[in-house]
Chain A
Amino acid sequence: KNQVEQSPQSLIILEGKNCTLQCNYTVSPFSNLRWYKQDTGRGPVSLTIMTFSENTKSNGRYTATLDADTKQSSLHITASQLSDSASYICVVSEAGGFKTIFGAGTRLFVKA
């Protein structure tokens, strides 16, 4: 069964610190992996998208990595800000088909 598992479920960090969120998937064959940020009460907004041949992609203070062999991805947030408080969702799409699986998300709280 195609699945996307994210960890941790929630995380609290102090402003200015770094953190890393994890995403493991079993979707096969693999097409791409996306990370979204979802602020409370709003729709998800795309941060990065990576295909099989890409193993890192940055968007400002956000850096996503992908290991297609182990089917793992991580999202690293550098020098966190209060505005980084949100849910971060990992999304994996299947190649050759229409299936796209959303993870349940990691809820990040950044405290002053």
Chain B
Amino acid sequence: DAGITQSPRHKVTETGTPVTLRCHQTENHRYMYWYRQDPGHGLRLIHYSYGVKDTDKGEVSDGYSVSRSKTEDFLLTLESATSSQTSVYFCAISSEGRRNEQYFGPGTRLTVT
């Protein structure tokens, strides 16, 4: 998985609780992304980062926030988890922009009960 780890790999949480997912890379790539993957849908971009402290919203950013204080770490926070946020979350990295090759992490399966 191209030097990308995600933690935790699985999590079950209750509605209304905050949740933070971590993505860590060892490739020193500039761009990092958070996606969610749901049955019947393609991967959808939540947020992305184009450098330390530089982040922007994707297509499905409501209810999510991100932070990137170091090149290697990109955090995704669900401020108050809802059942609609039950999904598999993937982190990806790329050295160029989103149009270029992206390398994906192993994913985090999140269940909100």
Contact = CB atoms under 8 A, between A and B. Distances in A.
Contact of B42 (A34, A42, A46, A101): A101
B70 interface: no
Nearest to A104: B42
A99 B78 CA distance: 24
Given A42-B1, A102-B43, A49 B107 contact: no
A37 to B, nearest CB: 11
Contact of B107 (A32, A34, A41): A41
A86 interface: no
A111 B45 CA distance: 33
Given A31-B99, A43-B90, A100-B98, A89 B104 contact: no
B105 A43 contact: yes
Interface string A84-112: 00000101011100101111110000000
B98 A93 contact: yes
Interface residues of B, number: 21
B90 A89 contact: no
A4 interface: yes
B85 to A, nearest CB: 19
B1 A43 contact: yes
B18 interface: no
B107 A46 contact: no
Given A102-B42, A102-B44, A103-B42, A46 B101 contact: yes
17 contacts: A31-B99, A34-B101, A41-B106, A41-B107, A42-B106, A43-B90, A43-B92, A43-B106, A43-B107, A44-B43, A49-B101, A89-B43, A91-B42, A95-B99, A102-B42, A102-B44, A103-B42
Closest 8 CB pairs of A and B: A43-B104, A102-B42, A93-B99, A102-B43, A100-B98, A31-B99, A104-B42, A44-B104
Interface of A: 4, 31-32, 34, 41-46, 49, 89, 91, 93-95, 98, 100-105
Interface of B: 1, 4, 35, 40-45, 90, 92, 97-99, 101-107
